[in-house]
């Protein structure tokens, strides 16, 4: 006689990240693959939470090479080595970093406002927009602070263009995004990606698939989900 199948354990996952953070793109791809591996054991709901790497960045952005060298004190050789490591990790996970395409880094506040709105729209709209924004920036090198670009990306995932335009032309959801950013910073999140499971288990960084998979299983099996 077969033993009864266990229902998948529901998990809330808050994925705290920025759109111009390469390790966030890597971490998300790895997390989603890990969730596929534990699909029969876990039923996860991912909520994308805002974090700005460069909240003071001007709208026109900065040259990416100059910005990274200034921020982290890297030589050109070190920067090239880091970029190659990122490209290779992405390729392993099926995410394409267009290494010639991305020449600038941008302010991401308005993109986070759209993501907040997409989270209210349901039907996977927030995840679809998050993926589209990451591809637009890292694969295609698009300006993710430009309103016309953001409108095009929102429309591409089925979000209503007129509503997106209204949000971008106003300060709608600005207070919500700032409140979310402040909350995570007050709780000690100072680097991303930060993956928070059921609001109490933290996995930091763009971890490999097997690290996420092992952590998810441990949380479920411990009964502490």
Is residue 74 assigned to a domain? yes
Is residue 224 assigned to a domain? no
Kindly report the average pLDDT of the chain as a whole number: 94
Global confidence as pTM: 0.94
Note down the domain range covering 183.
9-218
Is residue 2 assigned to a domain? no
Q: Cα separations (Å) of 24 from 15, 16, 17, 108, 173?
A: 9, 9, 6, 14, 22
The answer to whether residue 99 scores a pLDDT higher than 80 is no
Longest distance between any two alpha carbons in the chain, whole Å: 66
Is residue 3 assigned to a domain? no
Rounded CA-CA distance 4/101 in Å is: 52
Q: What CATH number has the domain bearing residue 140?
A: 3.40.30.10
Give the pLDDT band of residue 1 (cuts 50, 70, 90): very low
Is residue 116 assigned to a domain? yes
Is residue 99 assigned to a domain? yes
Is residue 156 assigned to a domain? yes
pLDDT value of residue 201:
95
How does pLDDT run across 18-55, given as a tens digit for each residue? 999 999 999 999 999 999 999 999 999 999 999 999 99
Is residue 16 assigned to a domain? yes
The answer to whether residue 102 scores a pLDDT higher than 90 is no
pLDDT value of residue 225:
63
Q: Which residues contact 176 (CB under 8 A, 6 or more apart)?
A: 116
Residues making up the chain, counted from first to last: 225
Q: Cα separations (Å) of 31 from 34, 60, 84?
A: 5, 32, 21
pLDDT value of residue 2:
42
Count the neighbouring beta carbons within 10 Å of the beta carbon of residue 192. 23
* DSSP letter, residue 74: -
Number of domains in the chain: 1
**CB-based contact 118:94 (threshold 8 Å):** no
């Amino acid at each position: 006689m077969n033993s009864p199948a266990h229902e998948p354990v529901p998990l809330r996952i808050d994925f705290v990240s920025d759109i111009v953070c390469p390790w966030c793109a890597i971490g998300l791809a790895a997390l989603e693959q890990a969730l596929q591996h534990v699909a029969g054991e876990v039923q996860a709901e991912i909520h994308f939470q805002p974090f700005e790497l460069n909240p003071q960045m001007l709208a026109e952005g900065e040259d990416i090479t100059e910005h990274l060298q200034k921020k982290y004190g890297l030589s050109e050789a070190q920067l090239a080595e880091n970029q190659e490591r990122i490209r290779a990790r992405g390729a392993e996970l099926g995410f394409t970093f267009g290494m010639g395409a991305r020449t600038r880094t941008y302010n991401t506040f308005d993109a986070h406002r759209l993501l907040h709105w997409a989270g209210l729209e349901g039907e996977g709209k927030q995840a679809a927009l998050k993926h589209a924004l990451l591809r637009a920036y890292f694969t295609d090198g698009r300006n993710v602070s430009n309103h016309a670009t953001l409108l095009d990306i929102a429309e591409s995932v089925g979000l209503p263009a007129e509503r997106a335009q209204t949000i971008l032309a106003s300060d709608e959801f600005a207070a919500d995004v700032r409140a979310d950013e402040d909350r995570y910073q007050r709780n000690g999140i100072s680097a991303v990606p930060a993956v928070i499971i059921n609001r109490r288990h933290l996995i930091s960084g763009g971890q490999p698939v097997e690290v996420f998979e092992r952590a998810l299983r441990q949380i479920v099996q411990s009964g502490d989900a």
